């Protein structure tokens, strides 16, 4: 056993050394790959960022030149040049005011004559656009941009450098970065009549650049061609070329070598000890006009340019991938590998001991399996005996079930035969009573007439009871064969109402009927629906005292895209006790409604009504106030020939 232990320790040590070296190599390769991937991503992002910024700049400045040429050549301008009246001047001012409001980027829109006198001036005033009155117009003949613009030919454009607006020889505060765009205006005969001048508010354009910076690792800077900051540093370092003490606030003063490298090409990307620099040179006018750039003149040179620069400090790259995290990862993996190898080595020893124990356990298990097998065989024999007895029992149950079915059929046949035999003499009795009442009244006393009437009523009740009993028997035993057809429900309703009206008149009941006009056709079994209406109305009459109220309401309703017929029968009778609510729809059940024996019937009518409603796919229920009356309500689907699913039924 000791030799086995030392062999395991030797294999563990050798594997641990090789595995540690492999972990270090793999983690370092992963670290290097991750670092280079992040570095490449930042480089690509910076180039893409500058490309989008340049496109934004070119698009904005191109839009300004298009607006300038549009206003200088529009028909309203030519109308004014032909007739420079006060009215035409107002029209021009109104047009420029509306244009300034829509655009929102022009601090001033001016039309100046050839002598440098303002004829129209629109001031943006940070959104409060106004037209300058005539008495406030100024002469600008001495301004450089007026002289240079009036010296241009037709179709040429003057563009000034981006600087701060100056009023009265002083830089306006708060700072207002502007660029001036001008073009000469000629009349229809080709005679110079003046110039259009835009003071373009560059603040919105510069703010767009700041928005790009917020989505980048880098510091974003916009420089003029002399290296002065136009955007991207602290406010006190901006616009150094317009300040007395701002000469040192330049990019080249901070990044001298980098500035020299940027001067060699129009775009590029390079590393220095300070970080990653990415730059692109923008020629605002030339780039925005493309092939038409030859029409543009500006105050400095035809190559007036900006430089957009992004600067990613070296500390950003150092923070891309944490060296300490990778060192900790290596240490952690080595420790895990050591634990895992030691576990494998220990497992080798444990396996040896476990194999010995397993041999002993197998022998014990084989003995137990033999014992269990013997017990299972005995139990299986018992189950087979029990299955034989169960099969005999099933045969007996099946035989009894067949006898019950036959007995039920005998009962149905008996009821059908006995009802026929009972209805025949009852019909004779009714006919004889009616004939005696009609033709023998002269010889029959008043008391006898009453007895004849009672015979007729009792016989009719007995026939109705026999019919209901037969109908209930067929529904329970054999089901109901529906003869579905479409018909007007109003015909059946009127028949049921007419039959009930006589009963209500005898008891002096207030019978109100509310039937919706446009119910439409109903698909169902007309006899069943007639029986439902009669049973509910007769019940209401039966259990309502003389002088009471009965209300019938029939209407059409829709829920979940399906149409239903809703019927409500309300009476002011004795009501139903709470304990009988759940029983009254069962056959031969009569709820406690006053003194029960005062009312005729054996409890079949509501049971039949419930079964007939359910055969039509509907439902019936009762709402009750004991002592104050009951409300029976049911619905059936309109146009349905089968039962509807529970999910499609309307809310009760």
Per-residue pLDDT of 126-160, as tens digits, reads: 889 999 998 889 998 888 889 999 999 988 888 88
Please provide residue 459's backbone torsions phi and psi, each rounded to the nearest 5 degrees. -65, -45
Residue 171 contacts residue 165 (beta carbons within 8 Å): yes
How confident is the model at residue 642, as a pLDDT? 40
Within a domain: 256: yes
Domain boundary among 258, 286, 317: 317
Number of domains in the chain: 3
Do 383 and 474 belong to one domain?
yes
383 shares a domain with 275: no
Token digits of residue 186 = 């000629």
Q: What is the CATH number of the domain that holds 231?
A: 3.30.450.20
pLDDT > 90? residue 193? yes
Higher pLDDT, 540 or 3: 540
Q: Tell me if 461 is assigned to some domain.
A: yes
> Half-sphere exposure (CA, 13 Å, Cβ side) for 60?
23
Neighbours of 272 (CB within 10 A): 13
Q: Say if 448 falls within a structural domain.
A: yes
- Whether pLDDT at 631 is above 70: yes
Q: pLDDT class for 597, splitting at 50, 70, 90?
A: very low
- Asked whether residue 231 is domain-assigned, the answer is yes
Rounded (10°) CA dihedral 639, 642, 648, 652: 80
> Are 501 and 420 found together in one domain?
no
Same domain as 472, residue 436: yes
E strands of 517-561, at which residues? 521-524, 549-559
CB proximity list for 104: less than 8 A, separation 6 or greater? 124, 127, 204
In the block, tokens 């509310």 appear at: 514
Q: Are residues 432 and 503 in the same domain?
A: no
Q: Mark whether 192 and 78 lie in a shared domain.
A: yes
Each residue of 462-510: pLDDT tens digit? 766 676 666 656 655 555 555 678 888 888 888 889 988 988 998 899 9
CA–CA distances in Å: residue 49 to residues 15, 54, 276: 51, 9, 14
Per the CB < 8 A criterion, the answer to whether 98 and 211 are in contact is no
Q: Is residue 337 part of a domain?
A: no
pLDDT: which is higher, 598 or 516: 516
In 3-state terms, what secondary structure has residue 481?
A: coil
| 83 and 230 housed in the same domain | yes
For residue range 336-386, what is the model confidence (pLDDT) as tens digits? 777 877 777 777 767 766 777 888 888 888 888 888 888 888 888 888 888
Range of the domain at 282: 58-317
Question: Does residue 250 lie within any of the structural domains?
Answer: yes
Cβ proximity of 216 and 46 under 8 Å: yes
pLDDT tops 60 at residue 461: yes
Q: Which of 464, 479, 494 marks a domain boundary?
A: 479
Token duo for residue 482: 């529906």
* Residue with the two structure tokens 């003194």: 595
pLDDT in tens, 114-125: 999 999 999 998
Alpha helices in 74-177 (DSSP H): 75-82, 86-103, 144-150
- How many angstroms separate the Cα of 6 from the Cα of each of 18, 348, 625? 19, 12, 95
User: Last residue of a domain, which of 479, 497, 522?
Assistant: 479
Write the pLDDT tens digit of every residue in 162-174.
Answer: 888 887 778 888 8
Are 219 and 114 in contact, with CB atoms under 8 Å apart? Answer: no
Give yes or no: residues 406 and 376 share one domain: yes
In a domain, 39, yes or no: no
CA distance 366 to 323: 60
Residues 184 and 270 occupy one common structural domain: yes
644: pLDDT confidence band, cut at 50, 70 and 90? very low
Please give the pLDDT value at position 594.
44
* pTM to 2 decimal places: 0.47
The verdict on 91 and 160 lying in the same domain is yes
Q: Which residues contact 47 (CB under 8 A, 6 or more apart)?
A: 269, 278
- Cite the DSSP H helix spans in 239-322: 251-254, 256-262, 284-289, 314-318
**Do 503 and 445 belong to one domain?**
no
Q: Are residues 220 and 116 in the same domain?
A: yes
Query: What CATH number should be reported for the domain holding residue 533?
Result: 3.30.565.10
In a domain, 334, yes or no: no
């Amino acid at each position: 056993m000791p030799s086995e232990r030392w062999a395991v320790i030797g294999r563990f040590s050798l594997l641990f050394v090789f595995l540690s070296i492999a972990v270090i190599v793999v983690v370092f390769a992963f670290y290097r790959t991750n670092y280079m991937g992040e570095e490449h991503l930042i480089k690509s992002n910076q180039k893409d960022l500058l490309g989008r910024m340049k496109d934004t700049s070119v698009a904005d400045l191109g839009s300004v030149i298009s607006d300038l040429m549009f206003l200088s050549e529009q028909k309203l301008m030519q109308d004014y040049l032909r007739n420079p009246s006060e009215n035409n001047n107002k029209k021009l001012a109104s047009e420029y005011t509306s244009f300034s409001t829509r655009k929102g980027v022009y601090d001033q829109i001016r039309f100046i004559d050839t002598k440098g006198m303002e004829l129209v001036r629109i001031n943006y005033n940070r959104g409060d656009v106004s037209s300058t009155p005539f008495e406030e117009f100024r002469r600008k003949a001495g301004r450089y941009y007026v002289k240079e613009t009036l010296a241009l030919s037709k179709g040429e454009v003057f563009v000034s450098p981006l600087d701060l607006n100056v009023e009265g020889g002083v830089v306006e505060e708060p700072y207002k970065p502007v660029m001036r765009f001008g073009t000469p205006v000629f009349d229809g005969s080709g005679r110079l009549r003046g110039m259009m001048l835009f003071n373009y508010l560059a603040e919105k354009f510069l703010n767009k650049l700041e928005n790009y910076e917020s989505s980048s690792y880098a510091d974003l800077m916009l420089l003029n061609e002399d290296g002065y900051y136009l955007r991207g540093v602290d406010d006190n370092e901006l616009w150094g070329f317009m300040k007395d003490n701002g000469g040192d606030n330049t990019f080249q003063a901070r990044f001298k070598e980098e500035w020299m490298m940027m001067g060699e090409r129009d775009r590029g990307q390079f590393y220095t000890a300070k970080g990653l620099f990415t730059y692109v040179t923008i020629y605002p006018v030339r780039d925005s006009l493309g092939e038409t750039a030859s029409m543009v003149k500006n105050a400095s040179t035809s190559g007036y340019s900006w430089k957009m620069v992004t600067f990613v400090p070296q500390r950003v790259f150092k923070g891309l991938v944490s060296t300490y995290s990778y060192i900790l990862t290596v240490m952690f993996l080595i420790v895990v590998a050591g634990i895992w190898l030691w576990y494998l080595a220990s497992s080798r020893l444990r396996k040896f001991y476990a194999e010995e124990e397993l041999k002993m356990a197998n022998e014990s298990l084989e003995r137990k399996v033999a014992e269990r097998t013997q017990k299972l065989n005995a139990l299986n024999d018992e189950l087979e005996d029990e299955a034989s007895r169960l099969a005999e029992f099933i045969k007996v149950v099946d035989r009894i079930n067949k006898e019950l079915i036959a007995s039920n059929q005998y009962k149905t046949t008996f009821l059908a035969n006995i009802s026929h035999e009972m209805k025949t003499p009852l019909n004779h009795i009714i006919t004889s009573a009616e004939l005696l009442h009609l033709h023998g009244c002269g010889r029959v006393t008043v008391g006898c007439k009453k007895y004849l009437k009672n015979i007729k009523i009792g016989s009719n009740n007995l026939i109705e009871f026999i019919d209901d009993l037969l109908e209930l028997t067929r529904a329970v035993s054999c089901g109901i064969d529906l003869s579905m057809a479409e018909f007007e429900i109003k015909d059946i309703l009127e028949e049921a109402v007419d039959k009930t009206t006589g009963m209500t008149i005898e008891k002096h009941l207030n019978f109100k009927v509310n039937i919706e006009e446009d119910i439409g056709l109903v698909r169902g079994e007309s006899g069943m629906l007639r029986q439902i209406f009669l049973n509910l109305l007769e019940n209401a009459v039966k259990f309502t005292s003389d002088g009471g109220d009965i209300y019938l309401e029939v209407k059409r309703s829709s829920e979940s895209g399906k149409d239903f017929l809703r019927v409500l029968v309300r009476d002011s009778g004795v009501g139903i006790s709470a304990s009988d609510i759940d029983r009254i729809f069962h056959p031969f059940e009569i709820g406690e409604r006053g003194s029960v024996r005062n009312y005729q019937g054996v409890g079949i009518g509501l049971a039949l009504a419930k079964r007939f409603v359910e055969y039509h796919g509907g439902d019936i229920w009762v709402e009750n106030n004991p002592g104050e009356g009951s409300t029976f309500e049911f619905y059936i689907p309109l146009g349905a020939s089968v039962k509807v699913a529970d999910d499609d039924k309307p809310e009760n």
